[in-house]
Amino acid sequence: MTARPERGVPLRGLVSGSIRATVEHRGNRSAVVVRSLATEHRGALTPEDGETIKVAAGQACELRIPLVLVLATSGADVSEGVVSLHGWGLAARAITACSGLVPIVALVDGPALSGPALLLGLADVVIMTPAAYAFVSGPAMVEEFTGIRIGREQLGGVAVHARASGLCTFEVASLGEGLDLLDQLLAWLPGNTDELAPGSGPDGDDNDRPELNQVIPGRATSSYDVRRVAEVLADDGDLLEFGPRWSPQLVTGLARIDGRTVGVVANQPQALAGTLDIGASQKGARFVRFCDAFNLPIVTLVDTPGFLPGKDLEWRGMIRHGAELAFAYAEATVPRICVILRKAFGGAYIVMDSKGLGNDLCFAWPSAEIAVMGAQGAAQILYRQATAEVRIEREAEYAERFLTPWQAAERGFVDAVITPGETRSVVIRSLRALATTREHLPARKHTIGPL
C-alpha cells in the first residue's frame, strides 16, 4: 500500500514557470494537485509547463491517487512557438493515460483558452467559478471568421458551459467553495479503479418510505420532480447532482445508499416530459461510464415516454448518440438496479438500462407502463380505419392490457413489482446481494462505441 505523502509536498521539485504540482491531502485521501499560476505569463503554458503536467499526471498514475487540475491559463505561450504546442500535447497525452485509472477533476478559476482549454474536456469532472471562461477560439477570431460580434461570457462563460455545452459539471460561487466541493467529491470516490469507494458503514435505516407512495400524480400527463425520489432513497437525502442545467430531462448524480456511494440516473418528467435527446443521451452515457470505471453501482429510475422527435435531432445524429447510452449501459460491469416508476416506452425503455441491456435486477412500481408506445399512439396505428369512438374504446382496452408492469413481469423482464414505499429497502437489499458479483471481461484492446 502506498504511503500517504504529506500535504503540499512537491512532486520531485515540480515547479515551472506557470505550473506548480504537489501532493496534497484532499477529502479523505491524497491527490496530485496541479496549479497554474496566473501571475506568471498570464498563466500561459510554456514547454516546461507541459512537461511538468506530464510528470505530475504520471505520478498520479504511479501512486494510484486522483489528479486535480486547478487552472487559469491564457493558452499556450505564443513566444515559444510550436514548442509550446508540443508541451501541451505531452500534457494531454499524460492526462489521457490517467483516464479510467484515477479520477481526474478540473477546477477553473479564470480563463482556459485555446489548445490548453481542451484539457478540461479530458477531465471526468469540471468545477467552474464565476471568474471562469473557456473556449478554443476567442471572440476576435469568431468575429473575423463569422462576422458575429460576441463577448467572452456569451461565448464561453460559466452559464454557457453549464447549460449549453455540458462542459461544466458544477458551478460554485468562489474558489474556496470549489475546493470544498472538490473535497466532498473525492471523499465519495475511490482513489483509483482497483478500489471501492470509501463507505460510511451500513446506514441501518432500511425502513419503508411511505412518502414515495404519493409521488406519482394521478393524471398520466402530470409531472413531478424525480429528484425527490432519489433523495428519499439516499442516506440523509443527500444527492450530489452532476450538470443540473445541461439536458435537465435526465438527472445524474452521486448518492450514498446504505453507506455506499452509488450513481443515480433518472428521467426528469419536469423537463421535456423526461424525453431523451442527443444531450441527455451523451450526459447519461458519460456518467454511466464514469460510474463503471470507478466501481460505483448504478441505480436507474425510469419514467420516459421515448426519444424526442425532430428533424434537426435526426440530422444531428440521434441514432448514433442515442446508441451511446445503450452502449454505456451494456458495457458496464458494476451492479445495476433499474426501477421503472411510470412510463417506459419504445427505444427509450431499452436504453434506460433494460433487462435486455443486462441490468442485474429490475423492479417496477404498480404505476409502471411498459410498452412499445402509449395507448393513444398504438390505437391510431392499429385502428386507423376505425371511427373515433371505436378508437377510444380500443385505446382503453390497450391501456388495460399492455400498459401495466404485469406482462413484463410474467416474461421475466421485470424481477418484481414493488410498492413505491418499499423501494429504498429493496434497493438496499439488492446492493448487498450484488456487492460480491464478478464479471469476466472479453480479451480485446478496447471497444469502439458510437462516439
Angstrom distance (rounded) from CA 111 to CA 408? 52
N-to-C CA span, the chain: 37
The enclosing domain of 234 has a CATH number of: 3.90.226.10
Give which of 168, 199, 424 is closest to 301, Cα–Cα. Answer: 424
Final residue in a domain of this structure, among 155, 188, 221: 188
Residue 446 lies in a domain: no
Please indicate, yes or no, whether residues 108 and 162 belong to a single structural domain of this protein. Answer: yes
pLDDT at position 3 is 43
Q: What is the pTM of this model?
A: 0.93
Residue 306 lies in a domain: yes
Please indicate, yes or no, whether residues 174 and 295 belong to a single structural domain of this protein. Answer: no
Residue 202 lies in a domain: no
Please indicate, yes or no, whether residues 177 and 46 belong to a single structural domain of this protein. Answer: yes
Please indicate, yes or no, whether residues 178 and 289 belong to a single structural domain of this protein. Answer: no
Please indicate, yes or no, whether residues 180 and 246 belong to a single structural domain of this protein. Answer: no
pLDDT at position 255 is 97
Residue 100 lies in a domain: yes
DSSP assignment string, 80-133: GTHHHHHHHHHHHHHHHHHTTTS-EEEEEEEEEETGGGHHHHHSSEEEE-TT-E
pLDDT at position 2 is 42
Instruction: Give me the residues paired with residue 276 across strands.
Output: 307
pLDDT at position 6 is 46
Chain centroid to CA 77: 33
Q: For the chain, 451 residues long, give each residue's pLDDT as a single digit of tens.
A: 344 444 455 565 566 667 889 999 998 899 999 998 876 666 678 888 889 999 999 999 999 999 999 999 887 777 667 777 888 889 999 999 999 999 999 999 999 998 888 999 999 999 999 999 999 999 999 999 999 999 999 999 999 999 999 999 999 999 999 999 999 999 999 999 999 999 877 766 778 899 999 999 988 788 999 999 999 999 989 999 999 999 999 999 999 999 999 999 999 999 999 999 999 999 999 999 999 999 999 999 999 999 999 999 999 999 999 999 999 999 999 999 999 999 999 899 999 999 999 999 999 999 999 987 776 666 677 777 677 777 777 777 777 777 889 989 999 999 999 999 999 999 999 999 999 888 777 888 888 988 8
Please indicate, yes or no, whether residues 52 and 106 belong to a single structural domain of this protein. Answer: yes
pLDDT at position 221 is 80
Please indicate, yes or no, whether residues 302 and 155 belong to a single structural domain of this protein. Answer: no
Please indicate, yes or no, whether residues 232 and 164 belong to a single structural domain of this protein. Answer: no
Angstrom distance (rounded) from CA 55 to CA 79? 23
pLDDT at position 10 is 56
pLDDT at position 220 is 78
Residue 229 lies in a domain: yes
Residue 381 lies in a domain: no
Chain centroid to CA 5: 30
In the block, residue with C-alpha cell 510550436: 82
Measured over the CA atoms of residue 176, residue 180, residue 181 and residue 182, the dihedral's sign is positive
DSSP assignment string, 317-370: THHHHHHHHHHHHHH--S-EEEEEEEEEEHHHHHHTT-GGGT-SEEEE-TT-EE
Please indicate, yes or no, whether residues 314 and 410 belong to a single structural domain of this protein. Answer: yes
Residue 398 lies in a domain: no
Please indicate, yes or no, whether residues 215 and 140 belong to a single structural domain of this protein. Answer: no
Please indicate, yes or no, whether residues 260 and 120 belong to a single structural domain of this protein. Answer: no
pLDDT at position 253 is 98
Please indicate, yes or no, whether residues 160 and 229 belong to a single structural domain of this protein. Answer: no
Domain count of the fold of the chain: 2
pLDDT at position 4 is 47
Residue 443 lies in a domain: no
Angstrom distance (rounded) from CA 115 to CA 122? 12
pLDDT at position 438 is 81
Domain that holds residue 423: 210-368+404-434
Longest dimension (CA), the chain: 81
